[in-house]
A and B are shown apart, each in its own frame.
Chain A
Amino acid sequence: MRLILISLLAMCLAAVVGVGITWMTATKGTDLGTLRIGAWTARPKTGTADIDPYSRATIVRNGELPIGTGDGVAFTATTDDSKKPLDGRCDVVVSGVTPAARFWTLTLYDGRGHLVANALQRYGFTSQEIVRGADGGFEIRLASRSRAGNWLPTGGLERYVLMLRLYDTPVGVATRTQRDAPMPAIATVGCP
């Protein structure tokens, strides 16, 4: 009787621990093969056949299609450069330069990967439609109210995700540092 009780306890514990860790890694993701540059993170291996089991589980669970390596690479940011979470009620500036790529797009999503509705129907910028300074650098302002220049509406969301996708780019599995891939800076410049 006691043996049954004890093995039952062990199995319950096993189920809770096992499924719990799986759920956590599938929702939050792991650091396996993650490339970190400033506030930006990318997992270039998710676009290859060498994808790790944890990224596979996350992708399948979310129902996304990862961007293939021959196509490009996707960087995401959930915080600014000083690790402050991106807040849609604040003014956030994304500025500087991007790594070499034929095209890039910067898109704003909510935490679940959906686009954020706004009257302008502007969900992001492509490298071609952006207004640049004389030196080729750019500045994108993310705010809930309209701003001059490159304004990306946040819809006043409390938390959002930025995704910078580089298309036809040498950035990928071999990239390690900021020098290989100069990513734009993200700074929170003012909160109401």
Chain B
Amino acid sequence: MIRLLYTIVAGVLLGLVVHLVSVLALPRIATQDAYSRLTPLTELNAVTALPPAEPGNALMPFMDPAFATAICRYDLSGGAIKLAVPVSQAYTSVSFYTRNEIAYYAINDRSAGRKVIELDLMTEAQHNDLPEDEEITAADRLIIDSPTTTGLIVMKALAAEPGLMPQAQASLAAASCKLQTDAPPKQAKR
């Protein structure tokens, strides 16, 4: 009898370990996460507009139907990414997510303070490799360090009224997200 009691206690304790491991492992093993859902619909290192949120197309749960949304699915292994998002009339924001949907950075049009939100996205290693004099000229450009090489950039423009949705979509259609093609001047100096 006492042995059975021990078994149950051991089982419950082991169960807590299983629970902790599975909670921590879930983000890595999930197959229906937002990144996986968006992968077949989006191009790599390019802006893809998402269809507006409607009852019929539940791409992701809890999407805000008042927003036009565009996605840039990025892979930094080929170099840094240059992102430019023109600001719409009402409200525009850009959010950055890691491969496992951690929202590590978000900026809106007011904190950007310009007509175009311009950012450079790179890994920490690529940021460290930047030549120092470049850093000065780049001071007016915002540099974001991505914790992972792949991830998602979500651009959103608010349509304050349903009739303004085409305008919001049009302002996102002018957004660009592409690999930095010009060779860094560091190589030219050598």
Contact = CB atoms under 8 A, between A and B. Distances in A.
Interface of A: 6-7, 9-22, 25-26, 46-49, 51, 53-54, 56-57, 59-72, 74, 102-103, 105, 107, 109, 112-117, 121, 123-124, 126-129, 163, 165, 167-168
Contacts of B101: 56, 59-60, 64-66
Q: How large is the interface on B (under 10, 10 to 19, 20 to 34, 35 or more residues)?
A: 35 or more
Contact of A11 (B11, B62, B90, B147): B11
A10 B27 contact: no
Contact of A60 (B17, B30, B103, B159): B30
B34 A26 contact: no
Interface string B96-108: 1100111111111
A69 B103 contact: yes
Contact of A13 (B15, B95, B107): B15
Interface stretch (B41-49, B50-58, B176-184): B50-58
Contact of A6 (B7, B18, B154, B159): B7
A112 B59 CA distance: 12
A18 B18 contact: yes
A113 B52 CA distance: 15
A63 B91 contact: no
A24 to B, nearest CB: 10
A112 B142 CA distance: 37
Could you say which of B34, B64, B93, B101 has the most chain A C-beta atoms within 10 Å of its C-beta? B64
B22 interface: yes
Given A66-B101, A103-B160, A126-B66, A17 B58 contact: no
Contacts, number: 205
Given A10-B10, A21-B15, A46-B103, A60 B64 contact: no
A53 B23 contact: yes
B15 A112 contact: no
Given A60-B100, A126-B158, A167-B91, A70 B105 contact: yes
Chain A to chain B: the 9 pairs with minimum beta-carbon distance, closest first:
A18-B18, A113-B61, A68-B106, A17-B15, A13-B11, A70-B106, A14-B14, A117-B55, A128-B160
Contacts of A62: 61-62
A192 to B, nearest CB: 24
Given A13-B11, A22-B26, A68 B91 contact: no
B141 interface: no
A183 B70 CA distance: 30
A9 to B, nearest CB: 5
B97 A114 contact: no
A61 B15 contact: no
B58 A13 contact: no
14 contacts: A17-B11, A26-B26, A48-B103, A56-B102, A57-B23, A60-B30, A61-B33, A62-B62, A63-B36, A65-B152, A71-B156, A112-B61, A114-B58, A163-B62
Nearest to A54: B23
Nearest to A70: B106
Contact of B96 (A60, A68, A116, A126): A68
Contacts of B4: 6
